[in-house]
A = this chain, B = another copy of it.
Amino acid sequence: MDHTRWLDDDEQRTWRAFLTAQRLLFERVERQLQNEAKMPHGYYEILVRLSEAPDRTLRMSRLADTSLSSRSRLSHAVARLEEAGWVERTACETDRRGAWARLTDEGFAALRAAAPGHVETVRSVLFDALSPEQAAALQDISESLVGHLTNRPVWPAESDAGADGACPEAG
């Protein structure tokens, strides 16, 4: 017996288009950042989150959450970023299991240098292709999905006015 709720033709078309769009889009974003800024997109996100934090400093676990990384991934990533001199790790005094990650001035400079090219790419691959109505719909859809996939109201809740796309800590 087959209880599977298979996709109908229309759903399948939607799924495949979404899949294709998503791949092509992020492939471009990834390649641009790798070529011009020498970092994968995941690392860029980490730098962005740090740049938005008070003192550009965050606990590793918090940073993992806000940058959508597993702890393991973040550990490996921050190790790399530390080698590059873009991030520093220091022990946490009040909770000695913990560690702080801080964006260095070099890291901030690297982010600043990377931002324009990245943002231009995001605009060119995403917003330049969509009408205002489509962009609005995409926001709506994405937020629905995030809500659905996190069992949370709608958005990571916490402080999040941040800038990824806006000039990092601009002004």
- A interface residue numbers (CB < 8 A to B): 2, 4-7, 9-26, 28, 68, 115-116, 119-120, 122-123, 125-130, 134-150, 155-156, 163-167, 170
A-B contact pairs, 18 of them (CB 8 A): A4-B120, A5-B119, A6-B167, A7-B119, A7-B122, A7-B165, A11-B123, A12-B165, A12-B166, A17-B142, A18-B138, A20-B68, A20-B146, A21-B142, A22-B142, A25-B149, A28-B149, A125-B149
Complex Cα distance A112/B68, Å?
A: 32
Closest Cβ of chain B: how far from A116's Cβ, in Å? 4
Complex Cα distance A9/B160, Å?
A: 11
- Apart from A21-B142, A25-B145, A130-B141, list 10 A-B contacts with CB within 8 A: A4-B116, A5-B119, A5-B120, A14-B135, A14-B139, A16-B165, A18-B142, A21-B141, A128-B148, A129-B145
Closest Cβ of chain B: how far from A132's Cβ, in Å? 10
Complex Cα distance A10/B6, Å?
A: 36
Is the CB–CB distance between A24 and B150 below 8 Å?
Answer: yes
Q: Hey, which chain B residues are within 8 Å of A7, CB to CB? A: 119, 122-123, 127, 165-166
Complex Cα distance A167/B2, Å?
A: 10
Is the CB–CB distance between B130 and A144 below 8 Å?
Answer: yes
Closest Cβ of chain B: how far from A134's Cβ, in Å? 5
Q: Hey, which chain B residues are within 8 Å of A138, CB to CB? A: 14, 18, 137-138, 141
Closest Cβ of chain B: how far from A9's Cβ, in Å? 8
- By CB atoms of chain B within 10 A, which of A125, A142, A144, A156 has the most? A142
- By CB atoms of chain B within 10 A, which of A9, A20, A68 has the most? A20
